[in-house]
Amino acid sequence: MSWNGSTDIKDRVFSTLPYLLPLFYAMEFGQYLFQQFPFLRYLEIPLIPVAIIFGAVPFGLAGIIIFFVLFLAVVQNERISRFIRFNTMQSILLNIGVFLISFVARILARGIGGGILLETLYNLVFLAVVAACGYSIIQALMGRYAEIPTISEAAHMQVR
């Protein structure tokens, strides 16, 4: 789907960058798959700049700062193209989902320990986030809006 005309190459590239955040946070869920398939570690290479930024800011404040900068300076700024704002909002929503699942997974890990249930949850979350971000990045590079059920609808409503 293409709203408000076509996009230029600059908009396409900039709209892919916010998807590095949910990918960065999803890497913790890949631990079991990384043990079984070490070549999956190559997915971490594009995330090195994000890791440097997160390592440079003390007390884990980088995530909160980046969230507010993206939301207030990009999503709410109508001078930025709708394509970039939509993709930024969609990546923020994916990131919130990863954060909430991470919170639930930590509670489950304390309650049930490790086990096959936790490993399955981690693998599922990791693969889902990689698939959603990969799909969104490819669609953005082609100049199309990535339609992920429920998440895209919420992003469209927020961006208007």
Angle between helices 82-112 and 151-159 (to 10 degrees): 140
101-150, pLDDT tens digit by residue? 999 988 888 877 778 888 999 999 999 999 999 999 999 999 999 999 99
Task: Find all residues with CB under 8 Å of 120, minimum gap 6, and list them.
Answer: none
pTM given for the model: 0.90
